[in-house]
Structure formats: C-alpha cells, structure tokens
Chains A and B, each alone.
Chain A
C-alpha cells in the first residue's frame, strides 16, 4: 500500500503554528505536574480536587489521583509531549497542522480527565469527549472517503458503547448509593450480590470492549489507521484504546471477583489476542500490522484483568507500560519509514539500516522489547505474563497457551519489522521506491528513541518504576497495599522455559512467513462474515429502513401532509372528547342572533365555492370571505381587538397566497384525487369540522372561572394605566410571553426569507456517505 498522505519535505521553511506551542507547553506542564505527584501518591495518599458543578444532580467536578490514575496520566501526558513534537515535524507543511495540534491537546485533556475523574458522570463526560476528539482525529484527512468512513465507524461503535456505559454507570451508582467512584469501589460485595449486577456488568463491559477493541468490536481499530501516523501512535497504541482497560481495572473491586467477570474477560481477551495476532501476521502494510498487534495487546490486558490475583494485575500493569513504550516507538518508526521512502509496504522495503541508521536503531530496540528479549522491560513483562497465567487458579493452561501463542506471533512480527525492513536487502532492486530513502530529522527520532531507550533502561533497572508507579497502580486496582520486586532473572523455571518456546515458535513463523500468510488468507476467505462486513451490512439496513420510512412519511405532496394532519384531528379530537367525558346538551346552547345566521350562511356558501371552484383566484377570494366572516362574528360578540387582528391577518393571508398560487397552473388536470379520493377527502373534512364544532360547543358550555378576568379588569387601570385589557395584558402583565412571540415572528420571517432567497446549488455536493 502506497501512502498517499501529504508528507512534509525536510527543512521546509514554514513556520510552526501557534497551536503547536500551546499544545506542547500544556503537555509538558501536565507531565511535570503529574511527575511531581508521584511521591505523594506512592505514599498511599491520593490527591483530590472537588469543584461543585450540579450538586443537586449528584454531579460534581470531582477528581482523584491514585496510583492507577497516575500511571495512566503519566503515560498520556509524557507520550503526548513526544507525539506533539513528532507531529509538528511529520506534518510540517500540512495546512491543518494547527488544527491537528489543538485536537491532540483536546484529546489529551479528555484522557487526563477520564483517568482522574472520581464522579461516574464526569468520567462518562470525559469518555465521550475522547470519542468525539478521536472521531475528529481519525477523520483528519477528511477529503479522503476512507478516512471519513473509518472516523464514522469508530464514532458509531465507541459512541454506541458509550451509551451502554452511561446506563451501566447510572445503574451502578444507584445500586451503590453514590456517584463517587471512590465510594462505589468500597461496596464490591453489595454490588455483585445485587440482582442488577448482571445488567450493570454487561452494559459497562460493552462500553469497555467497544473502546478497547475487544472481540467482537475489534475491527474498527485497524480501520482507524486512516489517521495520520502520529495520531495512530498516540490514540491507537498508547492512550485512547487503553480507556476501556482503565475502566475495567478501575471497576475491578466493585464488579470483579465473580465467575461471570472472570470468564467474560478471559475468554474475550484470549480470543481477541489470538485472532488479532494472526491477523497481524498476514498484513503487508506495516501500520496495519502494528494496529493488529495493538489489538492483541489489548486482548492480553483484558485477559489478565479478568483475575483479581495480585500477580495477574501486576502482569497487566507492567505490560501496560511495556506496550506503551515499544508500540508508540514502533508506530513512529513506521512513520519515519513512510516519510523517508514513501511507502509502508513490507514487500517493497528492505535494507533501510544504511540509509536510516537512527530509525533502524530505534526499531531494533523497540522490537526487542516487543519480542520480549532480555534485558528489556518487555522480557520482564512477558515473564510476568506467564507467571500470572500459570498462577490463575481457574484455567491456567488455557490462559498460558493463549499467551504463548500470541507472544510467539509478536516475536514473528517484531522479526519481520527489523529483519525485512531494515537488514535484509530489498526484494527487487529494480523496482524503485517512491522516494530515495533518507533519515528523518532529529525532531522525528528523538521521541521514539526516548521511548525505545526507556524500554531498555527500565528493563535493566526495573526498580525505577516498580516502587514509584507499578506498586501504587496495583494498590489502585486491588485497594490493598502490595510490594513488588521486578527483576530480569527469575531463575530456571517454567516461565523461562515458556519464553524459550515462544522465541522458537516465533522464529519458525517468521521463517515460514509466506506459507503462514497464504494459510491465513485462505482462513479469512472461508469465514462467513467479518466484523467489518457485518458493520457495513448493519449500516446498509439502517439506511434502507430509514429511507423507506422517510419516503412514506415525507412524500413531498402537501395533500398527503394535510390528510395526515386532519385524520389526527378527527381521531385525536374524538378520543379527547371521549376521555374528558364532556356531555353536550344542545338545549343549553343560546340561540345566535339573526345577523350571525346571515354571516354564517355566507361563510358556508363561500366554503362551497372553494370546494367546487376551478379557478384559483375565485377560491382564494372565497377563502378570504370565510375569514372575514369569522372576524365579523368576533366583532358581534365584543372582541374588537381580536376581530381587527383577524381581519388584518386574513387580508395579508390572501395577498401572500395570491402571490404564490396565481403563478401556478390552474386546478384542472392537476392531480385531481378522483371520485374515490374526493369522497375520502370529504369524509375527513366533514369529520374534522364536526369534531372541532363539538369541542367548541363543549368548551362554551363549560362554566369558566372568571377570577383571572376579574383581576385584569380591576388591576388594568390602577396598576398599568391602561383601559384596553387585551393590550395591557400583551404589553405589561404578560409582556414576557409577547416578547417570546415577537422573537418567533422575527425568526420565522428570517427563515422564510432565507428559504425564498436560497438558490439551488450550481454543483451537487458529492461524496456523502
């Protein structure tokens, strides 16, 4: 796959956008700030911050920084600094670099809020903010259809998971009796014994699994590789996808410790890890390869969080750090390769070590940690995984086998990246690369070098992180004090033997890479469906159903709309008459004066004219006559203001409608409903008229409480200095209502004018999905 991304040129004289400095300064400040918190938190004293937001709803800006949150916060802000630096060089000449930097910053802030929130609603708000910012980041190259599709897919899947999570969190908080996470976590046994436990668990896990790309929601993550490489490195390896992991680790004390929890997480995690490491082996795009190994890492983390044993949690927390270091470094290495050669296709690359020495060194360091060779932190992580897997009481061999298989495939991937891309000669020297390979600028290798070297330094002296970061993190998960001793040499034991087995299988898989790939391709081809294809099928169905429903409801024919409206009036009016139990006694109706009969007669005649007329002008005039008749009746009964208003509105209505209708062709031959349709329309019209007449008579017969009227009559002059009650009500007693109404009049007028003035676009806006 040839990268089509707009890549920057070296030494471009363009100035860095201002946003870059804001983002970098903020990320640095957060890194230093969180680093300063390490001693406090390590001593077992979480930092808290409480700002009231909506206390009546139990929602406050409550933040709490404990060991688990601090580990995540440090990873997020530190890697944030490196990625922001890297992106500035990688997309140096991209016109939207400033937007990218601000989005990265916004995303970082959302993530930091997520891992420090102590209120479940606040946590959800930040959760959704990461979804929204990641949507914008994945769709950064929004002119490309596949970027838009991937962004939408990520948004829909994680957004749907977010909704489930919201319900789950609210149920959880209601069950626990508190919206504060720190309080919820102390009520573990009460929650797992509650009948709502299973729904809560299911909903929360849907949220976590969608976010952290667990089977069967795993497919959006590889697709999200449409994002620029720095974004992938940040969101899809180090941070966002870990949000689900964070949630599961965080809620372990209140939701974990049950069989359902254990088997759901272990099986989903194991399936995800195995499937995705197989998928990683069959990719030829380096970035996709890494994306699938990320899914594998998330599966492994989920698998270990299923158990509440100390050693399993220790394995998960250590691997979290290991993975963040080597995966982010490797993503950035791939970015450098893409940048320096113009392609990320492993089949076209080779022998880059000579042209890109720094990048090659970083790749070797990171890949060794990924493959789990001593003396890297990855080795310690892998040993801990095996030790943890074997210690889990329920299914030790299944988990250990899954871990060995997945790790062996990681070894194969690591070997492929180092040997095929950097050491072995190019497969065909005749075929030229899109660019002649060249080393990336310092700004693009400092970040990954720091990360890769970090994997080596922490491997050589693991006490750097064990006391300060890992111990408090485990305390944060399990809510109990622990001491951790990490070391490279554990003695000759079963985990070490498994490590040897892992490397052997990995090397074999790498040696037989072609056959493995062919075999996996055949496997995928016989699968009835994949997550991606199912997603497309669901989306198509949704669109088809909504198109069907919309076409039925929005026919575009005014006649249909009116028919529906009047049928609703007939049915609804009858129902409400029936429900109100209004009895209409026609004997009580006061006979109308003679003149009212004359006016009504004229109105009925005019209505008849409207129905039978074939001339628009005649129909409009007759309609105006009906309106004027209504105004006369108002006048007869003393409602002068209403009568004048009615008269004026009627006049304007005739003018407006005449302007439009007189320019249309005549009624004749213009979609006449036919004899049957005419009968149907007549029935609906007469029904609507009868219902409205009955309601009017019923209302007129109901005795009215005149208290309000009396108040206005008495208060109008002494308090508001006006004798016209109607006007005094409008401009004084109920002036706020009038203000709202004139605002509506003004807005409606603006909308009508805008609709009338809009021109059909000269070119159609294409590419909508």
Chain B
C-alpha cells in the first residue's frame, strides 16, 4: 500500500505500540495484560508498519527470522520450567526473589513466571509475524 500518510504515521505507531506491549507484558501479573496480549499488540504494531512499507521492511527491522523469535520464546518458557525442576521443585513451579524487600512490603517480585510470560510474548510475536509476513510475501 503506497500511502505517504500511513508510512509516516506507522513509524510513530510502531514505536508506541511496542512500548505499550512491553508495558502490558510487565504489568500483566497484577493488572489486565500479560504475555499473550502484549505479544498480540506488538505483532499488530509491526504489521501496521508492514502494511505501510512491505514485508521486506518488516524483515529488515526484525533483523532475525520471525520463526527464530518464536523458537526462542518457546525455549524461554521451557527454561522457566526447568529452573524449578533443577531446584528440586516440580516442573514449572514459580520461584521468586524479592528485590528491596522490607518487613511489611515484599518489594519488587521477580520470578520464573515472568520469564515464562516473556516466552509466551515472544512465541506470539514470532508466530503471528511469521505467518503474516509469509502471507504478504506469497500472495
């Protein structure tokens, strides 16, 4: 689609949507959001860019094959489970550490579920983009 307006807008939109998608991913544990939704928003943002500039442009800003992104995501999710297994707990048990914890406040909770959710995010981004880009290239 050769539209100057869309091309110009898409530059800003893609950045904003990617930022928003990470925001959704990180806040997902306590507020609406999470890896799946975040991944969809990120994919949608890049697709807007792809509609304006074409699949080749998408490949060049991604730098890696979308399939690789999906596979890294799957690996991250499995690793998140294996960490628990290596620690002696059942596979995929959530393990947490608390940064800046004070008595009465747990501080910032970081745990294997976050890595797992990042994995989900990457699988969704990689999978959706892989399909859309392939479709745009072939049709």
Contact = CB atoms under 8 A, between A and B. Distances in A.
Interface of A: 640-641, 644-645, 648-649, 651-652, 655-656, 659-660, 663, 720-724, 726-728, 730-732, 735-736, 738-739, 742-743, 745-746, 748-750, 752-753, 756-757
Contact of A743 (B44, B74, B106, B128): B74
Interface string B59-89: 0000000110011011001101100000000
Given A739-B92, A746-B123, A644 B139 contact: no
Contacts of B22: none
A738 B28 CA distance: 15
In this complex, the member of B36, B43, B77 whose beta carbon has the largest number of chain A beta carbons within 10 angstroms is: B36
B37 A652 contact: no
Given A648-B41, A757-B138, A724 B132 contact: no
A724 B33 contact: yes
B28 to A, nearest CB: 5
Interface residues of B, number: 54
In this complex, the member of A656, A726, A732, A749 whose beta carbon has the largest number of chain B beta carbons within 10 angstroms is: A749
Contact of A649 (B40, B73, B114, B132): B40
Given A721-B29, A732-B113, A735-B113, A648 B40 contact: yes
B29 A656 contact: no
Nearest to B98: A721
B77 A742 contact: yes
Nearest to B124: A745
B131 A726 contact: no
Contacts of B114: 731
Interface in B32-62: 32-37, 40-41, 43-44, 47, 51
B34 A736 contact: no
Contact of A655 (B37, B51, B123): B51
Contact of A724 (B34, B36, B41, B77): B34
A753 B131 contact: yes
Contacts of B132: 652, 655-656, 659
B31 interface: yes
A745 B127 contact: yes
Contacts of B24: 644
B135 A727 contact: no
Contacts of A727: 28-29, 33-34, 117
Contact of B131 (A651, A656, A720, A743): A656
Contacts of B109: 721
Nearest to A659: B135
B3 interface: no
B18 to A, nearest CB: 14
A742 B74 contact: yes
A165 B41 CA distance: 58
Contact of B116 (A659, A723, A735): A735
B111 interface: yes
8 contacts: A652-B40, A652-B44, A659-B132, A724-B33, A736-B92, A749-B70, A753-B130, A757-B138
B40 to A, nearest CB: 4
In this complex, the member of A720, A722, A726, A728 whose beta carbon has the largest number of chain B beta carbons within 10 angstroms is: A722
A749 B80 CA distance: 22
In this complex, the member of A641, A730, A731 whose beta carbon has the largest number of chain B beta carbons within 10 angstroms is: A731
B120 interface: yes
Contacts of A738: 77, 116, 120
Given A652-B47, A732-B113, A663 B139 contact: yes
A649 B139 CA distance: 21
B134 A753 contact: yes
B128 to A, nearest CB: 6
A641 B94 CA distance: 22
In this complex, the member of A645, A649, A732, A742 whose beta carbon has the largest number of chain B beta carbons within 10 angstroms is: A742
A659 B136 CA distance: 7
A651 B36 CA distance: 15
Interface in B94-130: 94, 96, 106, 109, 111, 113-114, 116-117, 119-120, 123-124, 126-128, 130
Interface string B17-30: 00000001000111
Given A739-B78, A749-B126, A749-B130, 20 more contacts: A641-B32, A644-B33, A652-B43, A659-B132, A724-B30, A730-B117, A731-B116, A732-B94, A735-B81, A735-B92, A735-B113, A738-B120, A742-B124, A745-B123, A746-B71, A746-B127, A749-B128, A753-B134, A756-B131, A756-B135
Nearest to A643: B32
Pairs A-B, 10 closest by C-beta atoms: A749-B127, A648-B40, A722-B29, A640-B32, A727-B34, A731-B113, A723-B30, A742-B123, A735-B92, A756-B134
A749 B111 contact: no
Given A652-B44, A721-B109, A749-B67, A742 B119 contact: yes
Contacts of A721: 29, 96, 106, 109, 111
